[in-house]
Amino acid sequence: MSLLMTVRIALKALSRNKMRTMLTMLGMIIGVGAVITMVALGNGAQATIEAQIQASGTNLITVISGNFSQGGVRQGAGMNTNLTPADALAIGEIATVDYIAPQVSTRVQVIAGNQNWSTQLEGTDVDLPLIRSWPVRYGSWFTPQDVTSAAKNVVLGSTVAEILFGPQVDPTGEVIRVRNQPFRVVGVMAPKGALAFGGDQDDRLFAPYTTVQKKLMGIQHISNVQVSATSGTLDQTAEAIRGVLRTRHKLIPGEPDDFTVRTNEEIAATRTETTRTMTTLLAAIAGVSLLVGGIGIMNIMLVSVTERTREIGLRLAIGARGRDVLLQFLVEAVVISLVGGGIGIVLGFGSAELVKRLAEWPAVVPANAIGIAFGFAAATGIFFGFYPARKAAGLDPIEALRYE
């Protein structure tokens, strides 16, 4: 019997009971749809993280005060106060360092006219826009003289500027109050967008770190240093920074660092690996639906073999070979799987797009996910359809014809 004839007979057999066929496909539809949706959401989150980390700065190195273990006490990064502006100047002397920006930060209440807003104030240096590849939209960034003199000049993030002065308004030259101290607005940054897993990069102010230290916080230390390394020297520069700081902090060999040095690549690798693990876990959980769908196919095919025992006996009696019967039932199982898989892929795309629109969650379906879903659907049909097909092919024609 030709393969085309076998397919036609299988389709005709499936069409006799459309409702049962559709219910049998349901497990495969849900399984494939769930896998596509989970993979799309996971890949979307991973792509967003990678893009945002890339946008945070080229060859970025972050030096943070404190370490995760020091002096027998577990202390997180940023918990110490031993990082100073002099340390930042020493780091800036490293040959492979292009730009450097000491930083301190604090929450502040900002007032402009009858508007007020609680936001983050970043005390930083003149190199930050170069490190972060972040252009100024209105006005300009503050100057080295502003840093030296601890001038009360401030640059607004676009969100803060819009809240205080309205959209599409240039507030350059306006005076705002930060913790009841007057600051002159010298510029507004271009929109940067959200951080990974929430947080608005534009909801903040920027001022000279010396101003924040002396006039708002009353401190002499800094919390971290943002460094941009020469292209291709990221790891080399990170090691050089460790060496400089260990020497300056008089740490003996074997003594743990009292600071943390993190590269952009390390941050990206950690976050993307976490997202990849979650994607795999979610896809595995969704894959259970495919297993359930495969078991449903096997059960229905076994019922079909029992119902069509006399038909099978008649076909065998008039000359059909066992492999013809085996192939017919396998084709029926594969057709159920593939059609269900195709509907599931469409459902998965639709679900991912729906989540993307309603929850504003990024969704990216990799091209290989469709092929894998179809392949898995076909494999499920063959695997779970083989036993019922083999049972049908092994029937004795005489006994099958006698079956009631």
Which pLDDT score is estimated for 396? 74
- Residues 14-52 have pLDDT tens digits of 777 788 788 878 878 887 888 788 778 777 776 776 666
61 within domain boundaries: no
| Identity of residue 138 | Y
What band does 78 get if pLDDT is binned at 50, 70 and 90?
Answer: very low
Domain count within the chain = 2
Same structural domain, 232 and 307: no
Question: In this predicted structure, what is the pLDDT of residue 52?
Answer: 61
Q: Is residue 253 part of a domain?
A: no
* End position of a domain, from candidates 187, 216, 248: 248
Phi, psi of 182 (to 5 degrees): -75, 135
Contact, 235 vs 244, CB < 8 A? Answer: no
Are 98 and 212 in a shared domain?
A: yes
Asked if residue 294 lies in contact with residue 385, where contact means CB atoms within 8 angstroms, the answer is no
Higher pLDDT, 227 or 275: 227
The range of the structural domain enclosing residue 148 comes to: 83-248
Residues 204, 310: one domain?
no
136-139 and 181-189: which strand pairing?
A: antiparallel
Together in a domain, 16 and 87:
no
**Model pLDDT for residues 226-254, shown as the tens digit of each residue:** 999 888 788 899 999 999 999 999 999 98
Q: What are phi and psi of 122, to 5 degrees?
A: -100, 115
